[in-house]
Amino acid sequence: MASVLRQRCVRLAIGCLVMRYVGEAPAKTPMAPGWDHARLLWECDHDLGRRAYHWLDQPAPDTPRWHPKPIRDRSPVEGELHELARAILNNHAWEEWNKLGMAFFAASDGSEEGFCAFDLFSAKNRKYDPRETLARWENYRRSPPTQIGMGTLIHYARQAGWRPGRAA
């Protein structure tokens, strides 16, 4: 009973925030499937939305997802992407980091596992920002790379001492 009451109070609080920061009509209008008030609040203000998702015990949309699939369910390419992400050094300027991000995107066809590998690679740099990493990944969706991919990742990994079948 307490958890049901808590959930209703959380939903009411989020609805009040939507009414105050977004508007009265969206707060009173039933949401379409797949949308809810927390998502609407997220679209309006990321900080308020992040708090709403926290209250709902759900990850915010920009929260990095390290392993969407168990290791046993990954394809060989997805497993190799993670191996390459661990092997490639991340001491590059923004242009090289972006180039490697495009390579991870193309090699994974923009999959969630591909993002996890790119995020793992990105986190090795002291300038790492999870929001910027996610924003870059979403940018690749608008204009997917076509001239770069797995070959680029293997080239950079080999420069770092990686060889197929053994970790760097």
Closest alpha carbon to 103 in 56, 66, 157:
157
Report DSSP state, residue 1: -
Cβ contact 76:150 at 8 Å: no
Q: What is the pLDDT of residues 52-93, one digit of tens each?
A: 888 888 777 766 656 666 667 777 888 899 899 999 999 889
pTM beyond 0.75: the answer is: no
Q: What is the pLDDT of residues 136-153, one digit of tens each?
A: 999 998 888 889 999 999
Plot region of 161 (φ>0 → left; ψ -120 to 50 → alpha; else → beta): left
